[in-house]
Amino acid sequence: MIAKANKTQHLSLSNLKWVKVIEEFITNGQNPVQAYDIVYEDCKTAPQSACRLFKNVKFVQMLNIRIEEIKRKTERKVGEIDAMQQKAYNLAMKHKQPAAAVSAGTAIARLYGMDKDNDIGTATAPPPISLADLEVLRKLSLELNKRTLVESEVIENE
């Protein structure tokens, strides 16, 4: 929490209110006036007071420390997401689900920015799908399309 960031600073009553304003600001849409108004109830000058508070250097430092704490706690690493998508791809291939495999492959490509047009032509990671797997996907997709066409013809003839 914020109190840990500066152990020498004793949290006064106003600083405790600042902590509450910061938490309200972060959790309720990042509206400074609304956050201030919730913590300092019945304040007739909430817009002006909030403006002054959010310009206060010490308050802004506390806010930035809290935002960084939240980012560190919630941040996922690219490698973790890549591993999750690789598992999803492998599972889709195992169960012969080409659409799911393509979705996982697309997610991996997006993770490394390969979904964007660029002049570089290469990505920072090796392609997640081997050529043999791509061929299997192509065949499964063709088979699925044939089944769908046959099923739709049967439905139309009924």
pLDDT of 148: 66
Buried-exposed string 45-79: b where 16+ CB fall within 10 A, e elsewhere: ebeebbeebbeeeebeebbebbeeeeeeeeeeeee
- pLDDT, one tens digit per residue, over 44-65 is 898 999 999 999 999 899 999 9
Percent of the chain predicted with pLDDT > 70: 73
Contact 36, 50 (CB under 8 A): yes
C-alpha–C-alpha distance, residues 6 and 87, integer Å? 42
> What gap in Å lies between CA 135 and CA 122, rounded to an integer?
21
Per-residue pLDDT reduced to its tens digit, 97-113 = 888 888 888 888 887 77
Lowest-pLDDT range, 5-9, 12-16, 73-77, 88-92? 5-9
Q: CA torsion, points 130, 133, 135, 138, in degrees to nearest 10? A: -120
The residue behind tokens 């599972």 is 91
Name residues whose C-beta falls within 8 Å of residue 31's C-beta, 6 or more positions apart in sequence. Answer: 25
Residue spans per domain, the chain: 2-74, 78-157
pLDDT tens digits for range 64-93: 998 888 877 766 777 788 888 889 999 988
Task: Annotate 22-55 with three-state secondary structure.
Answer: HHHHHHCCCCHHHHHHHHCCCCCCHHHHHHHHCC
Token digits of residue 65:
């420390």
Mean pLDDT of the chain: 77
